[in-house]
DNA sequence: CGTGATAGTTTGAAAGTCAAAGTTTAGGAG
DNA sequence: CTCCTAAACTTTGACTTTCAAACTATCACG
């Protein structure tokens, strides 16, 4: 069955393109991709907790501590003790951090969106249906996923 | 335009599922995902050169040297000076390395393939067309990509 | 035989990652 | 009110990935 190969190859290409774009994106922003991903999360709401980042990135809290240390050094975020629950630390994005995100264009996503808009109506519908189908075939459909196209690194879980 | 969001979300889910599966896969094999990827490449043909791995993984040769060092330590591969061109070193997979690959099932890919086979003919055709379409929209269609579903980490390029 | 390009290794440094142990705070049982 | 457990975080120590730059060994060509 050759279609299986075709589909796997296409899927792999999509993954690779995203991976490479992620590198460039982060590099352009002067951060590593991991740092950039974390910063994006903070940026979504303006502030979060270390725990939330750890959970979303599937990484330990210790890792997040180290990661946030670096974002603090780069003045993209600041730590603020929570007043409600003093065990928590709010990670708050700085103006500089916000600009870093904004000034980092995502050529990959832009390209995709631009081309998607150019498609015929039925084509758009087909693509959405297909992508959702594939996601469900990977048992991915219930994973939380913001509408942001950024790959992350790997390592143990 | 809501379809754009839907498509990006689905795409992101696919990426995440792959990412997570990659971690588990490598972990099960007792290697890191980077090591596993490299081992897979060696396994494809039984042997390669450091340069080839570096090129395919988009990392520097120095990185590959370090990586291969670990695969050698774990007895998954051995280094052999090339006889034709003595500058080259062939990275050759060992029996143990081969077993490591074989014993590491890829649940994600298997799941996908299994479900893909269950689809109606027209659905398969649609999925392939859609995936290839998306790949081309990401300018990914000319990237070399084996028919293997594994994500890689990131970092600078 | 030089001389420049190629393939790899070494070295030193930054970053991501975790487990395990430690700190501080919250919240409930008594 | 006190004590104990759980939760949120940090610290420490160790490993891996990654690179740039410097170095070694070889090839290939004039």
Same domain for A37 and A57, yes or no, is yes
pLDDT tens-digit series, residues A107-140: 888 889 999 999 999 999 999 999 999 999 987 5
Same domain for B78 and B63, yes or no, is yes
How far is residue B82's CA from residue B98's CA, in Å, rounded to a whole number? 21
Q: Does a structural domain hold residue A24?
A: yes
* pLDDT, position B155: 29
Helices (H) and strands (E) in chain A, counts: 7, 3
Cβ burial B94-109 (10 Å sphere, 16+ → b, else e) = beebbebbeebebebb
Q: Does a structural domain hold residue B152?
A: no
Mean pLDDT of A72-80: 96
Same domain for B48 and B37, yes or no, is yes
Q: Does a structural domain hold residue A117?
A: yes
The distance from CA B76 to its chain's CA centroid, rounded to whole angstroms, is 17
pLDDT grade, residue A1 (50/70/90)? Answer: low
In this prediction, the residues of chain B whose per-residue pLDDT falls under 70 are 1, 140-157
Mean pLDDT of A6-17: 88
Cβ contact A93:A77 at 8 Å = yes
Q: According to DSSP H, which parts of A30-148 are helical?
A: 33-45, 50-57, 61-73, 95-102, 107-118, 121-137
How far is residue B32's CA from residue B102's CA, in Å, rounded to a whole number? 16
Q: Does a structural domain hold residue B132?
A: yes
The count of structural domains within chain A is 2
Q: Which residue of B has its CA nearest to A137?
A: B112
* pLDDT, position B93: 97
> Token digits for A7?
């589909």
Q: Does a structural domain hold residue A92?
A: yes
Distance A45 CA to D3 C1' (A): 38
Higher pLDDT, residue A41 or A16:
A41
Q: Does a structural domain hold residue A153?
A: no
Same domain for B93 and B126, yes or no, is no
User: Nearest CA of chain B to the CA of A27: how many Å?
Assistant: 6
Res A61 pLDDT > 90 = yes
Q: What percent of chain A has pLDDT over 90?
A: 64
Residue ranges making up the domain that contains A111: 106-142
* pLDDT, position B151: 39
pLDDT tens-digit series, residues A35-50: 999 999 999 999 999 9
DSSP assignment string, B107-127: HHHHHHHHHHHHS-HHHHHHH
CATH number assigned to the domain comprising residue A87: 1.10.10.10
Same domain for A56 and A23, yes or no, is yes
Q: Which residue of B has its CA nearest to A5?
A: B147
**How many contacts does A have with B, using Cβ atoms within 8 A?**
224
How far is residue A1's CA from residue A10's CA, in Å, rounded to a whole number? 15
* pLDDT, position B2: 85
């Amino acid at each position: 069955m050759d279609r299986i190969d075709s589909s796997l190859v296409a899927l792999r290409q999509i993954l690779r393109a995203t991976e490479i774009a992620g590198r460039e994106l982060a590099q352009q922003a002067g951060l590593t991709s991991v740092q950039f991903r974390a910063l994006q999360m903070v940026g979504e709401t303006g502030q979060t907790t270390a725990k939330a980042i750890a959970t979303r990135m599937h990484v330990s809290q210790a890792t997040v501590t180290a990661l946030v240390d670096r974002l603090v050094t780069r003045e993209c975020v600041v730590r603020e003790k929570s007043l409600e629950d003093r065990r928590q630390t709010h990670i708050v994005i700085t103006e500089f951090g916000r600009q870093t995100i904004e000034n980092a264009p995502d050529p990959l996503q832009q390209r995709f969106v631009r081309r998607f808009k150019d498609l015929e109506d039925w084509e758009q519908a087909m693509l959405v249906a297909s992508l959702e189908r594939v996601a469900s075939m990977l048992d991915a459909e219930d994973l939380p996923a913001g509408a942001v196209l950024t790959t992350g690194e790997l390592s143990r879980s």
